[in-house]
Structure 1
Amino acid sequence: MLSMDDQARLANVIRDVEDDTSGEIVVVLAKQADTYRAIPLLWALLIALALPWPLIELTNLSASRIFMIQLGVALASSLALSLPQLRYQLVPRSIKRAQAHEAASREFIRRGLTRTRDKTGVLIYVALAEHHAEILADTGIADRVGPDVWVEIIEKLTMAIKAGSMADGLAEAIRRAGAILAEHAPPRFEDEDELPNKIILL
């Protein structure tokens, strides 16, 4: 998803922006938020359930023969629809968005962003398969910064990813999030880096 050089460059960007704030930034880049393994099975079952009706109306096949055809179609459909490029197209956009948001929320907790001293942790989360990106901020920042501020950053990030400039888009998103943190959570004299700066790839 990112070359080693890009990962190192982005880690340096995080370290640099955190020099100007007591806040913490974590970037998580996921190939996918969910595998959606149940989706092909669900579609295969729906196809198999609809199949007997035209066979009953248009053929003289026995019930046992129709059942065997139904079983074969269910199996073949399930296997065919399990191909990743097909599977993700079958998932409704609302479900993708909900799964990606849930995954981002889990990562927010898992990566320790709720445990920073002043509750000023910010997560930049990207799920590539879902074409989804979002920023989550802990209460120390969320109480001072409206969600519209993050939306603008995410819009520019998603445009950069679509244009094939993911590393540059992430670097800009990190810098802009860092500027917001610097304004609302300036550095302290005794400040220390509470969370790792490396890009987390899933």
Structure 2
Amino acid sequence: MSILARYFSKSDLDEIKSAVGVAESKTSAEIVPFFAESSHHYKEWAWLGAFLMGGLSGALFYTVENFYGSLWEGEGKSFIAIVSVWLGAVLGLIITTVFPKIRISLVSRGAKQYFVDLRAKEAFLDEEVFRTKNRTGILIYISLYEHFVRVLPDKEIAKVVPKSEWNEAVRLIVEGMKSKKKKEGIVSSILFCGDLLKKYNIQREKDDKNEISNEIRDGGKLM
């Protein structure tokens, strides 16, 4: 099953595609929505999960020892302590490997932003958003697990539209993801982008063609 099919119905996808068409009817820009479940696999953070669970197991062992009195003596106590730490570490590694949502909860905001920014730039190149005649393409990159959105306009639009103007387009999608109304948030954001481009006179030309298809792109599964 594709990532898009997992999160959107066919009617949802058709509505998003239709919204792109409506937005582009107001401007010469080409809007490319791109949906990724996540921007990185974050498998490195499974080791942090192992470290934390190992430490927690060791702390729990010594807490029980101090509360109930010494249950083991000498080398036996040291051996049990080591085993408890290792068992906790293995359990932590397994849990954070099998359940990506737990793993991603260990990742710092800064690290998430780094991978989202990197993957968004890769998507801009992979989808050839730059290949419009007047360099008026826009990528709307959505990363679900991170709850981050990036709007990457090509150079001719970036010259005209201030970066701060895209904040509302980002907010609409993020709020939609948080409220479990992903499709509605994406549609609203796309339509907002169309109005914003019209506001800044990115006019639709008489001979304007649909240079990039209107479907939302499937970012695949990384985690």
Match of 1:193 in 2: 210
From 68, 74, 79, give the equivalent of 1:60.
Answer: 74
Q: Does 1:91 align with 2:107?
A: yes
Match of 1:78 in 2: 93
* Counterpart Cα distance in 2 of 1:187 and 1:154: 24
Match of 2:186 in 1: 170
Match of 1:148 in 2: 164
| CA RMSD, 1 decimal | 2.5
* Counterpart Cα distance in 1 of 2:57 and 2:37: 35
Amino acid at match of 2:75: L
Match of 1:161 in 2: 177
Q: Does 1:121 align with 2:127?
A: no
> Unaligned 5+ residue runs, structure 2?
1-6, 63-69
* Counterpart Cα distance in 2 of 1:149 and 1:139: 15
Match of 2:23 in 1: 17
> Unaligned 5+ residue runs, structure 1?
none
Q: Does 1:29 align with 2:43?
A: no
SS of equivalent residue, structure 1 residue 8: helix
Q: What's the TM-score, normalizing by structure 1?
A: 0.86
Preserved CA contact (<8 Å) 1:44 1:78:
yes
SS of equivalent residue, structure 2 residue 74: coil
> 1:157 offset after TM fit, Å?
2.5
Amino acid at match of 1:167: K
Preserved CA contact (<8 Å) 2:58 2:85:
yes
Count, aligned residues: 201
Against the structure 1 CA distance between its residues 68 and 31, is the aligned structure 2 distance closer, same or farther, given a 3 Å change threshold?
same
> 1:64 offset after TM fit, Å?
7.7
Amino acid at match of 2:176: A
Residue-by-residue CA offset, 1:81-100 (whole Å, 9 max, x unaligned): 22223111111122112211
SS of equivalent residue, structure 2 residue 39: coil
> 1:47 offset after TM fit, Å?
5.6
Against the structure 1 CA distance between its residues 165 and 68, is the aligned structure 2 distance closer, same or farther, given a 3 Å change threshold?
closer
Amino acid at match of 1:39: W
Residue-by-residue CA offset, 1:59-111 (whole Å, 9 max, x unaligned): 63378877665544432221022222311111112211221121111111111
Amino acid at match of 1:74: A
Match of 2:65 in 1: none
* Counterpart Cα distance in 1 of 2:89 and 2:178: 36
> 1:37 offset after TM fit, Å?
0.7
Amino acid at match of 1:41: W
Match of 1:44 in 2: 50
SS of equivalent residue, structure 2 residue 34: strand
